[in-house]
Amino acid sequence: MSPPAIRLSRVEKHYGDVHAVAGLDLEVAEGVCFGLLGPNGAGKSTTMRMLTGQTHPTAGSIEVLGLPVPRESKRARALMGVVPQKDNLDEELTAEQNLEVFAYLYRVPARERAAAVDRALALAQLTDRRATKADKLSGGMRRRLLIARGLVHRPRLVLLDEPTVGLDPQVRQELWSLIDGLRAEGVTVLMSTHYIEEAERLADEVAVMSYGRVIAAGPPADLLSAHAGERAVEYYGPPPRLAEIEQLVHAAGLPTRRTGPSVSVLRAESMPAELADKLGDGVPRAANLEDVFVALTGEVVA
Ligand SMILES: Nc1ncnc2c1ncn2[C@@H]1O[C@H](COP(=O)(O)OP(=O)(O)OP(=O)(O)O)[C@@H](O)[C@H]1O
ipTM of the complex: 0.93
State which of 199, 224, 249 marks the end of a domain: 224
Q: Give me the count of residues in the chain.
A: 302
Q: Does ligand 1 come within 6 angstroms of the Cβ of 46? A: yes
In a domain, 296, yes or no: no
Nearest CA to ligand 1 atom 6: 15
In a domain, 293, yes or no: no
Nearest CA to ligand 1 atom 4: 15
In a domain, 251, yes or no: yes
First-last CA distance in the chain: 37
Q: How many domains in the chain?
A: 2
User: What mean pLDDT do residues 250-263 have?
Assistant: 88
pLDDT at 237 (0 to 100): 92
Q: Does ligand 1 come within 6 angstroms of the Cβ of 210? A: no
Q: Does ligand 1 come within 6 angstroms of the Cβ of 56? A: no
pLDDT at 302 (0 to 100): 40
Task: Look at residue 301 and tell me whether its pLDDT is greater than 50.
Answer: no
Helices 110-123 and 95-105 pack at an angle, to 10 degrees, of 130
- 192-218 pLDDT tens trace: 988 888 888 899 999 999 899 999 999
- 44-78 pLDDT tens trace: 999 999 999 999 999 999 999 999 999 999 999 99
Same domain, 117 and 194: yes
Nearest CA to ligand 1 atom 12: 20
Same domain, 136 and 251: no
In a domain, 26, yes or no: yes
In a domain, 276, yes or no: yes
pLDDT at 1 (0 to 100): 65
Higher pLDDT, 168 or 78: 78
User: In percent, how much of the chain has pLDDT > 70?
Assistant: 98
279 backbone dihedrals φ, ψ, rounded to 5°: -80, -20
Same domain, 137 and 111: yes
In a domain, 292, yes or no: no
User: In percent, how much of the chain has pLDDT > 90?
Assistant: 71
In a domain, 279, yes or no: yes
Higher pLDDT, 131 or 172: 131
Q: 211 CA to middle of ligand 1, Å? A: 10
CATH number for the domain harbouring residue 249: 3.30.70
Residue of 13, 21, 45 to test ligand 1 pocket, by largest number of atoms within 8 Å of CB: 45
Same domain, 233 and 162: no
Q: 15 CA to middle of ligand 1, Å? A: 9
Q: 42 CA to middle of ligand 1, Å? A: 7
In a domain, 301, yes or no: no
Q: 161 CA to middle of ligand 1, Å? A: 13
pTM: 0.87
CB neighbour list of residue 2: distance below 8 Å, 6 or more residues apart: 30
Q: Does ligand 1 come within 6 angstroms of the Cβ of 41? A: yes
Highest mean pLDDT among 54-58, 122-126, 164-168: 54-58
Domain that residue 266 falls in: 229-286
CATH number for the domain harbouring residue 54: 3.40.50.300
Same domain, 138 and 270: no
| Rounded distance between C-alpha atoms, residue 59 and residue 48, angstroms | 16
Same domain, 121 and 235: no
DSSP characters for 167-207?
--HHHHHHHHHHHHHHHHTT-EEEEEES-HHHHHHH-SEEE
